[in-house]
Amino acid sequence: MCKGAEDVYQILEKYPEIKILKNEPLANYTFTKTGGPVDLLAFPKNNQEVQNLVTACQQANIPWLVLGNASNLIVRDGGIRGVVIILTEMKEISVSGEMITAQAGAKLIDTTYLALENNLSGFEFACGIPGSVGGAVFMNAGAYDGQLQDVFYDAEILLPNGSIETWTASQMDFAYRHSKVQENPVVVLSARFKLAKGDYALIQKRMEELTELRQLKQPLEYPSCGSVFKRPVGHFTGKLIQDAGLQGLIWGGAQISKKHAGFIVNINQATATDYTELIAHIQSVIKEKFDVDLETEVRIIGEEPKEESEN
């Protein structure tokens, strides 16, 4: 446990309503089913509890970070020192006219289906993206020619000093798989999305079409971190990997999916190290064969495992 983590735990004893686990394996939460332990894992249920957690960490001068649904994420096998705040308990979603408001821990899929129930169009592209609303804002998640920025209106943002600001779309610096949140030690608490009135049957049909496409093309039957790489300009990642003869390659317990070469699946108790080594191998081969630099879309965090002493 990192220096100061116990101090944070003691400070947070003032807030017994916040669920906190010690030395918790993050493999229990990531979609890859991999990842080492975190010193303290906290589950706040509202904005005030997030503020209390961040303030305690700042006071103790220890590292902290926030996770949503841990879907497009790899946590290295050495785990994370400090405090991880996971927002899955903050999952309220509401509708007012053509606006949807969702807490950061709400599932993006649930948000799109609430839009459908209210005859609201614009969110169909996200109906199969497994991440949280906060994570989707963080990375400007997208699929099937749609991106979060297309429907984003504004977000509640917690600053490190404990204050809360509202950031509008123009302040977010959205780009392909990028937002301003990635460059700042802030927390997305909730977001609002501006949609348009539509026809229920047409919205439902489009969502069903995209769900079928995803089921046909993506290896949903195995644990994975979703799409591993960003699409390089002028190329399709999956085709590059196929053309390099890498599809189906097994590395430890991980495999380049036979169904979609842009995915790496956990087929046999893979470790995060299996994932990161396979990612590095793919990048090396694609660079050598095609002179294309593959940049990861998946977020890779945490420490490498410590080597065991030979004594």
Active site residue 96: no
Among the listed residues 76, 81, 177, 192, the single catalytic one is: 177
**Which has the closest alpha carbon to 76: 114, 40, 26, 110?**
26
Distances (CA, A) of 281 to 37, 164, 295: 26, 42, 13
Among the listed residues 98, 124, 156, 297, the single catalytic one is: 297
Active site residue 177: yes
Among the listed residues 132, 224, 227, 257, the single catalytic one is: 227
The answer to whether the beta carbons of residues 253 and 268 sit under 8 Å apart is: yes
**Helices 108-117 & 200-217 angle (0-180, nearest 10):** 150
Active site residue 13: no
Catalytic residues: 177, 227, 297
